[in-house]
Each structure stands twice: as structure tokens, then as C-alpha cells.
Amino acid sequence: MKFTHDIIEVNEDFDEIVELISEACFSENIVLHILEDHQFSLVSSIGVSDHLNSGLSSLLPQVVDKGEFQSVINVDGNQYQYLGIPIRNKNQKIVGIISLLGQNKLSLNSNQKKTIRVFSKSILFVIEKELLHKNKRVCLNQMLEINNGFYIKVGFDYRINDIGPNFKTSMPSLQIGDRITDTISFEQNFNIKEKFDHGDSNNQIYFFTDNEDKQRYKFSFLIFESDMIISASPVINAKYTLRNYNLVLNDFSKHDYIAEYMFLQQTSAKSLNEARVISDNLVKKNIELSKAQKEIGELSKFPSENPNPILRFSNRFKLVYSNPASESCFLKDFKIKDNEIFDEKLKTKIGDIIKTKSTESIFESRNGRHYSLTIAYVDEFEYVNIYGSDITTFITKVNQNEEMLIRIKDEMQEQKEFYEFILNNLPADIAVFDTKHNYVFINPKGIANKKIRDFMIGKNDFDYAKLKNIPDDRAKQRRKLFNSVLKKKTFVTWQDEFIDKRGKREVVQRSIGPLFDEKGMVKYLIGYGADITKRVEAEEENIKLSLVAKNTNNGVLMLDTEMVITWANQAMIDRSGYTLEEMLGKNPREFIISETNSDVLKKLKEAIKLKQNIEVEMLHQDKSGANYYVALNLQPLFNSDNIHNGFMMVEFDITDRKENENTIQDLNVNLERLVQEKTAKNIELSNSLRDQEKMVTIGELAAGVAHDLNTPLGAIKSGISNIKYTLENIFKENIRYCSFEEIQFALNYAENNTFGLYMGGMQSRKESLAFENYLNDNYSDLIDEDVTETAMMFVKNRIGSEENDIVKYILKSKSTKHLLQILYDFQIIFSFVNTVESSGDKASLVVQDLRSFIREKRNTKKGKVNLHDNIKTVLNIFNHNIKNNIELDFNVNKSLNVMGYDVRLFQLWSNLIKNAIECMVEMTEVKKMSVYSIASSKTISIIVENNGPIIPSSQIDKIFEKFYTTKAHRSGSGLGLSIVKNVIELHKAQVSVDSSKERTRFKITFKKEK
Amino acid sequence: MKELRYAVICVDDDPMILQVLAFQLDKILDNKSILVEFYTNPNEALSDIDTLIDEEIDVIFVLVDYQMPEMTGAELIRKIKSKHKDLNCLMLSGQANSTQISELEKDKLLEKFIEKPWDEDELRDAISKLIATKTLS
């Protein structure tokens, strides 16, 4: 047992009752404890010190054990008499103890005992009232929770006090402390001020709308303890799926609350009856009490010390004696002055008593005070004695108690209405049966028609069948179930699914179970059902939609547990060529799956059997009989109770990829590969993918490289044909006119002089004219007609007048013209030889760059890679696309190295650079690309930036996905950025993309090696 | 010296190409009466064409590369044609943007497109035809 000595719950009713007891029992020291859950709580005390109080701890449990109990205790050296009187409830359970303490022996006469019993009842009422209030609150909360947790409590200032858990999820903008009207808008006829003022909850349904989400809720309300409680439920629309409700089917099995409600309702009704009886008793007891007062008066021996008025009149109505107590009010109230009585009524009464020589007790009220008067004729002295007692406080208290009882009664009525209101408005049908399967209660959701509803009370399902003139199969079925529940005494829950008259599907979750009385016997059975069609449908639809939405481009099949198709999406219909109707009800193995590889089929079968997720690649067949490869994902589906209810099949057409793979395989018939194939299938898979990636990169590079090779090869080709032509020229004619020495001279000259590759016509004319003048001035012996021709030949040979000796030597020759021609031819040959040589170098550089992409050995070995050189190689490959076309700003620090795979990094840069170039192809403004580095103490970042068109933010997340391409019909394989992603993962680097109108930027960040 | 009446213009940013062209044109053309000019810079070529035409020299054709600094061959041709709409334009390129070329052809701005590496005879055929029409008229 526990003790609480401090008064915690201050209820003034207790204080007043204790005061009254003190008065009635002439006791100055009284303590009242109440006992709840084995805990004593001190609720009121008069004239008892804390110390003395704690001394009671040992006595109270004895009262609980023995009932009324008397004892003696020592506290602080003083001896006290103790009397403990238990307060029992209707079940004779002790709920409180009145303790009387005194210095003298405590003995109560029968009237005092009766008085205490009456007050015990009053105390019991106060306790039960408190208890009811507490229960009411608990019950309210539980009822609100049953109603899906969609409730709001609003204070009289319209601010929100409390929010149901489901609103917290579905309407997070609803905040405690906010004004309700800020977050939601009430519809139509609902004026919150008016409803608060009148406090009527008239059981109507209203609507409000969530300001933010525009979700509509229907609700009813109730004013409870000056709060408005709004109990709502969302009006279902497509937007609100189950997820928003945050509900699961289990929510509906909170039958305990309903059971508790039923129990409470019973007890409330019982308490009401009890209250009535007690209230009647109280009135009776009042009369008894007045008798007791009479006795007290008569017994009073010491009028002057008596706190009640005592008077004596002579038989001629003269006041003979009045005690001090009568002086305060009594004399004045009954107009007794100068020993004369002027109160006519009392005077007449005294007269009657004198006449009859009798004794009578009466109640009289004067000036708001109530008196109990015992008028007795004392024969021997011919006096009339009046024993008065001011019972004002007592009467007031009794009146108050009566009021209180009426109040409790009202509250109980209110409470009953409150629960009925909730039950009648619950979105569930509820029926309560007695143990004979007769209806005790049905809510409107159960039977809508009020007449039939009222009729059914006290009747059963067989009567209902008769009334409706329908077969009683259902009644029989229910009786069977009812009997089994009655026997097992547990709740049974099941789902009814049927098609209603209008062909609409309806799913109802039903439960039936027992309600127990206090003794644990089944008193009633409660059955309830909720229409969960929308929820079940929403749930089913939700599962479908959420999964399907993700995979709209892929074929999706929904299958039941037997692998029978129940639904297919558009992509599936498009790809397979079958209509939805043709697919429904069939097993895909009968017509879609055309795979013959038994391993694959076995794997699939196994996964279905074990209800496991599986991904396989297999062959399918469309309606026309054509085969196509798919990557198939089969996923088992489970409902909220974790019961397997089917499969989903998502397939992705990989025919193209598969064919590529086959081609690659056909080409690679080397031994190594064969060995690889046999040894590890996993390695093969990843390799084939890597090869595929490499093929893509190389393929895309090839186009560019072709040009880079084309130019030098073209130059080599034409250079060689020009050399051949010139040589023919030399040997055919000119060589015959020149001496060996002259040829030697020409060769020597051609070898040692760089020959301008070409010369503009205008310039050569100018130079020729000048040279002609020079010749005329210095070599006047030359034949006229030859001068122009000769001058032109000199200019063609790039021999200027400053080269005197050369000019003189040539002019001295027997055939100057032939020598100049042969000199020119030699120079042409040397010049083309140079061109061919440098073109060859150029071509080999291109091949070198390209080779570094392909060399397998370097691919597999991790090593130090210089980022500048690595990126430069890539830029060289793309040189033909960049030069003259794009303003390139290449600024990568030459000292930056990372540990990695150089060829893989080539792939990284080439994909980024290629993308940058391609995205700018159609731009008309100046194209810019920057490749630069930023290094910090821990990281190295390479930024590849271009000023091409923006990548929409909706696509940024997708660009790294395999086969994602924006260049659907152009060059894109869709592999580019997925390769980038792979390489980045391989190097444990990170990539970030940001794209604006001005520029698109890829930033690759490597960790610095320690 | 013969009176100059005709000119031929070659524009390519690669001097080695111009060298080959110089050699081949030397064989094809009578360079005594036809001025052959080479430019690596398209802007220079553009201003010289204006000068030549001002001096009443008949420019028989302009042979341009596609990929060049400052402007593409397509742009150069459009510029030339906007001023001298009768001037014949030929293109010699290994990496031209096909949409640009087909647009030029659609607008009837391009006489002939020759792919690099080119065949000398193909070049000769194209040029001879033009020379013949010009010099015989």
C-alpha cells in the first residue's frame, strides 16, 4: 500500500462533508482518505497535524482488513483514540476511510453512526463523480482514436489544442497553437463562433477543406469541457491514397475500445439507478436525521453550554429562559423581544402544544436560516421548552447534494448521448447482441431505416429474414458463428467481399466478440463491420500504380498467386501485340515466354515457388511469333498482412543489346576468351559489358579519327602522285639537257633551301617584273623574248636577285630554261617529300593516341596517371572537332597525378568531351569549352564545362543511367555517361553536374593519394 | 605580259593543301592569263575578292575548305554570294556538316562539292568546265 499525505486533489466537496461530519459527531479531529489502486490519498482533514497524520499509516490497512476499527496510538508522547470507518462502494469494496481522532474515548451513538453512513454515501458520490469524469476523458480519447485518429481539439479562442495522429500525417500544416481557421476552411453553414456560443452539436455532418492540399474532410463536432472536438474523416479522392491516411487494416481491430465503451455504458446506467435510490434514501435519511436532532435536543443537559438555542416559555407565552446560543439569531428571527413572542406562527404552535400538552418537532425557516425545533410541554412545571437547532448549513448541504445528484444524472445522460453520437456516426456498422443472439443495439450504419432498426431490438436475424422475406441461410450461418464466439469467448474477424445490386464491389471487414460483465461472464456480444472497399481498392491500385509509374516504358504484368495474368500495362500490350483481354486469365508461360533454356526456366520456376524476387534474361515471343530478348524482373507481392497475393513481372526489351553481345562473341573466338567463358560466368558478364562500353567509345572515336587520318593520308597520297608526276617530268625531258654537274648543283640547292609551299599569282607577277628588270639591267646579253620567261622561272624557284652567284651560274648554263625547270622539279619533290614525311608523322601520332585507348594490358594495371597528359591525349583525339570550331581553354596543372587506370580515364574524359562537343553542334553563338583543374589539400577536381544548352533539372538524375540518351535518333548509344559513372566508381571519385542557361558543368573529384 | 582578265581563289587553313592545289592548278590552268591566289585566312580572301572585282578582273571560281578558323566555308560562301551572286563557289572538305552543305545546295549557292582526299581528275573536270564557260563567252 502506498500513502499520499499531502492533499493533492483539492475537491471542496470533501472539505465540506468532513466539516459536516465533525459537526455531527462533535469531533474536532477528522481525516478523510480515499483508496484507489491500493493507494491511500489524503483528500481532507480537520485539526490533525501532519505528524499525527503520518501516524495513521499503520492503522489504515487494518481498517481495510477488519472494517470499522478502533485503536489507540501514540504520537509525540500524546495518546490518541482512533476510530476508522470504511467507505464502501456498491460492490462493498472499500474506496475510502474516515478517521476520527480524539483525546478521550470515541463512542458514537446510533444517530451519529447513521449520520456518518449518510455522509459516506456523499463521499462515495464525489469519488465516483471524479472517477466518471476521468473515465469520460479516457473514453473520449479512445473513441477519437477509433475514428481513425482524425480529430482536432479546439479551444474557445479557436486555437488548436490537440491534433489526432492521422491529421499529423495527412495535414502537417495543422499546428497546435494555431488558429483553426488559418489552416482549414469550413464550408457552407458552419460558423465556429456560433457553434461555440450555443454549444449544440446537433449531430449534423459538416465539411471543411485543407487550405494547402485542398483535401476535403467531412466532420461532426462536440463541445466537451469548453473545447470543441472535431471528429473528421477524409472524403476520398484520387489524390489521397492510403499512404496519406497512414492506416492499415489492423486499425479496425481496436475492438477493445468498443468493448470498454459498452462496459462503461452499462455501469453508467447502473450508477444512475443507484444514484436515484440513494437520492431517495437521502431524503428519507434527512427525516431520520431530524429525529436524531430531536433526541440531541432532549438529551442536552446543559442548556447554557449547548451550542443550540434552548428556550422556555410560560403557559402564558412569556419567555422564562433563553440560553446564550439563542441570542445570536434565534431571538431576532422569531421576533422575541422583552420576553414577548411576536412570531405569530410559532406562538400559535406553542399554544397548540400547551393545549394538547404534547411534544412535537417542526422545521421552520426564518431570514434564510433553517431551524429544527422540538417543542415540548413539561407538565410538572407548566412550561413549554423549545430545543432549537440551526440546521442551515446542513440543509444547504443536503440541497447541494441533491443538486449534485441531478447534475451527475444530467452528465450521465449527456455522456450516453455522447457515446451514442459517436457510435451512430462511426463509419462502421455496429450491433450488440444479448447472449441469446437478440439485438440490443444497432447503429444507423448497420440498419439505415429507423423503423426497422427499432423493430429489430429484441429480435434476431431469423426475424429479420422473415421481415424481409429472404432465405435464412445467412441467419443460420451467423448463428453458427455467434455460438462459436460465445463458446470461445474471443473476437473473430473476417472479410466479406461481395458484389452489390448495382454491380459494385464491396469489401467489409467484420468482427464479432464478447463483452464481459464485472464477474467475467459474457454479457453481450458486439459485432461490427466497416466498409473498406475504397481502402482495399486504393491499396490495390496504389500497389499497381506506384510500381507501374516507375516502369512505364517497360512491360508490366500483374499476376495472381497462380501466375495468371490479372493486368498488363500499355507498354506490355504494345510490345507483345496482345490485347489486354487476350492476356487476362492466362499464364505467361502458355504464350509469352518462349525461352527454351531449361536452366533459365528452372531458375524462374524456383523463384515462383519460393516467392522470391528474380532477375533473368530470357526469350519472349510476341503475337506475330517473333522472338525478343527481355531482362525480366519477377517480384512477389504481399498485402499489408504480409500474405502473398501475387506477382509482378516487369520486362525490359534487350534484344538490341543481346544481338550486340552475340556479335561480339562471334568475333572473339580466341582461346583466352573461351577459357574465361568456361571458368567464370560472372567475370564473363562484367567483361562483356566492359567490352561493350569499350566498343562504344572506340566506335564513337573512330569517326573523328577517320578524319584525322584522312587528311595526312590524303596529303601523302597526293604528295606521292605529285612526286611521281614530277619525276616523270624530269626523266622524260629536262634531265637530258643538263650536265651531271648541273644536276648535282640543282640537287644540292633543292636539298639546302626550304621551298615556300605556294605563292600567290599577284606576288609572283610582281616579283617576276622586278626580276625581269634586274636581268635587263645586269645581263643585257640575254635574248629579249626569253627574259620574261626566265624571270618567271627564277621567281618560281624562289631565287632572288641577291643570290648573285646562283643566278650567274644558272644563266651561264647551256640550257638555262631546263636547268631552272629541273631545279624547280627537284624543289617540288623535296617539298612534297617533307609534306609526306610530316603527314606520316601526324598519322602515326593519331594512331598512337588511338592505340593507347585500346591496349588491353594498360587497362588492367593501376598506376600513377598524370591528369594533364591523360586529358591532353583525349583532346588530341578530338582535335578535329575542336580546332577552328570551339574556343578551348585547357588549363590542367601538369603536376597533378592520380592512381588509376589510364585507359579507363581516357574513356571518362572522352565521353565528357564528346558530350560537350555534341551538345554544342547546333549552336550559332561562339562555342566554348573549358577543361581545368582545381586542387585542394585533399582532393583534385577536373572540371569540364561548356556553354551549350541547359540540361533540364528533371533529366539531371537520369543522365547517368544506362541507355539513357537525349540524342535518340542521332549518335547516342546511351552508354556514354553510364561509362563515366562506372569509371568514376572504379576510381572512388565523385561527379557532380550543374547546368544553367549559361553553362553546363561536370566536376569530377578525386581523392588525393597519400 | 598578257592582260590579266581572270582569277581563281583558293581558301584553306592548311598550307599543305594549298601546296597541292598550287601544284595541280599549275598543271590545269594557263597561269599566264589566270591569276591564282591562295589564302589561309578567309577574311583576307574576302577583301581580296572585292578588290579583284573592283579592278574588273573576272573571278572564275572560289574553292574553299569547310572547317576554318574565324568562319566556316559555308559562312564564307554565303558572304561571297551576298555580294557577288554570280560567282561560282566550290567546296573541298573532309568534315563538312552535312546539313549546312545541303542547305547551301538547296539555296543554289554551291557549284560543286569535292570530298577530301580528292581525285585530281575530279578537280580538273569541275574546273575545266567552269573555265571553258567563262573564257569562251
Q: Which residue in chain B is spatially nearest to A925 when comparing CA positions?
A: B71
Strands A151-154 vs A94-102: parallel, antiparallel or unpaired: unpaired
Residue type, A556: V
Task: Enumerate residues 6+ apart whose C-beta is below 8 A from B48.
Answer: B9, B37, B39
| pTM of structure | 0.37
For helices A681-732 and A655-667, angle between their N-to-C axes, nearest 10 degrees: 60
- Let me know: does A901 contact A986? Beta carbons within 8 Å: yes
Distance from CA of A978 to the nearest CA of B (A): 28
At B46 the pLDDT is 92
CB pairs under 8 A between A and B: 78
Contacts of A725 in chain B (CB under 8 A): 27
* CA nearest neighbour of A946 among A968, A915, A967, A971: A915
At A684 the pLDDT is 46
Least CB–CB distance from B116: residue in A710, A725, A832: A710
Strands A369-378 vs A644-653: parallel, antiparallel or unpaired: unpaired
- Let me know: does A658 contact A629? Beta carbons within 8 Å: yes
Q: How many residues in chain B?
A: 137
Backbone dihedral angles phi then psi of residue A854, each to the nearest 5 degrees:
-100, -25
Which residue of B1, B11, B23, B98 to mutate against A (max A Cβ within 10 Å)?
B23
Q: What is the DSSP letter of A993?
A: E
Backbone dihedral angles phi then psi of residue A745, each to the nearest 5 degrees:
-60, -45
Average pLDDT over residues B76-82: 92
Residues 836-855 of A with CB under 8 A from B: 838-839
Q: Which residue in chain B is spatially nearest to A835 when comparing CA positions?
A: B16
B106 pLDDT exceeds 90? no
Residue A641 CA, chain-centre distance (Å), reads 20
At A673 the pLDDT is 47
| ipTM field | 0.84
Q: Do A761 and B1 touch (CB under 8 A)?
A: no
At A238 the pLDDT is 35
User: B6 touching A, CB under 8 A?
Assistant: no
3-state secondary structure of A152: strand
Grid cell 573512330 is found at: A702
User: A880 touching B, CB under 8 A?
Assistant: yes
Higher-confidence residue of B38 and A151: namely B38
Contacts of A710 in chain B (CB under 8 A): 94, 116-117
Cα distance between residue A759 and residue A754, in whole Å: 13
Average pLDDT over residues B20-30: 86
Distance from CA of B111 to the nearest CA of A (A): 23
Q: Which residue in chain B is spatially nearest to A927 when comparing CA positions?
A: B70
Give the cell for residue A424. 451512430
User: A885 touching B, CB under 8 A?
Assistant: yes
* Residue B51: Cβ within 10 Å count: 10
- Let me know: does A611 contact A644? Beta carbons within 8 Å: yes
Q: What are the residue ranges in chain A where pLDDT is below 50? A: 236-272, 275, 296, 298-302, 549-550, 668-685, 856-858, 962-963, 967-974
Q: Do B16 and A717 touch (CB under 8 A)?
A: no
Give the cell for residue A694. 569499350
Is residue A347 exposed (0-12), middle (13-18) or buried (19+ Cβ within 10 Å)? middle
Least CB–CB distance from A715: residue in B16, B24, B38: B16
How does residue B11 score in pLDDT terms, banded at 50, 70 and 90? very high
Q: Do B35 and A831 touch (CB under 8 A)?
A: no
At A263 the pLDDT is 39
- Let me know: does B8 contact B34? Beta carbons within 8 Å: yes
Residues 703-762 of A with CB under 8 A from B: 707, 710-711, 713-715, 717-719, 721-722, 725, 757-762
The residues pairing with B92 across neighbouring beta strands, listed in sequence order, are B114
At B43 the pLDDT is 92
Strands A939-946 vs A928-935: parallel, antiparallel or unpaired: antiparallel
Is residue B98 exposed (0-12), middle (13-18) or buried (19+ Cβ within 10 Å)? exposed
At A674 the pLDDT is 45
- 3-state SS, A605-659, equals HHHHHHCCCEEEEEEEECCCCCEEEEEEEEEEEECCCCCEEEEEEEEEECHHHHH
At A712 the pLDDT is 79
Q: What is the DSSP letter of A592?
A: T
* CA nearest neighbour of A771 among A756, A792, A753: A792
Q: What is the DSSP code string of A867-879?
A: HHHHHHHHHHHTH
* CA nearest neighbour of A662 among A694, A629, A635: A629
- Let me know: does A884 contact A926? Beta carbons within 8 Å: no
* CA nearest neighbour of A830 among A760, A734, A726: A726
* Residue A283: Cβ within 10 Å count: 11
Contacts of A759 in chain B (CB under 8 A): 22, 38
For helices A816-854 and A740-752, angle between their N-to-C axes, nearest 10 degrees: 40
Task: Give the alpha-carbon dihedral of A285, A290, A296, A297, to 10 degrees.
Answer: 180
User: B35 touching A, CB under 8 A?
Assistant: yes
What ranges in A650-760 are assigned the alpha helix state H? 655-667, 671-679, 681-732, 740-752
Give the cell for residue A554. 517497360
Q: How many residues in chain A?
A: 1010
Q: Do B19 and A707 touch (CB under 8 A)?
A: no
Cα distance between residue A214 and residue A430, in whole Å: 32
What ranges in A45-109 are assigned the alpha helix state H? 50-54, 60-66
Least CB–CB distance from B94: residue in A711, A719, A765: A711
The residues pairing with A634 across neighbouring beta strands, listed in sequence order, are A614, A649
Cα distance between residue A719 and residue B16, in whole Å: 9
User: B101 touching A, CB under 8 A?
Assistant: no
Residue type, A999: R
Residues 471-530 of A with CB under 8 A from B: none
Residues 44-73 of B with CB under 8 A from A: 67-69
Task: Enumerate residues 6+ apart whose C-beta is below 8 A from A16.
Answer: A397
- 3-state SS, chain B, equals CCCCCEEEEEECCCHHHHHHHHHHHHHHCCCCCEEEEEECCHHHHHHHHHHHHHCCCEEEEEEECCCCCCCCHHHHHHHHHHHCCCCEEEEEECCCCHHHHHHHHHCCCCCEEEECCCCHHHHHHHHHHHHHHHHHC
Residue A843 CA, chain-centre distance (Å), reads 63
Cα distance between residue A762 and residue A475, in whole Å: 117
At A287 the pLDDT is 60
User: B103 touching A, CB under 8 A?
Assistant: no
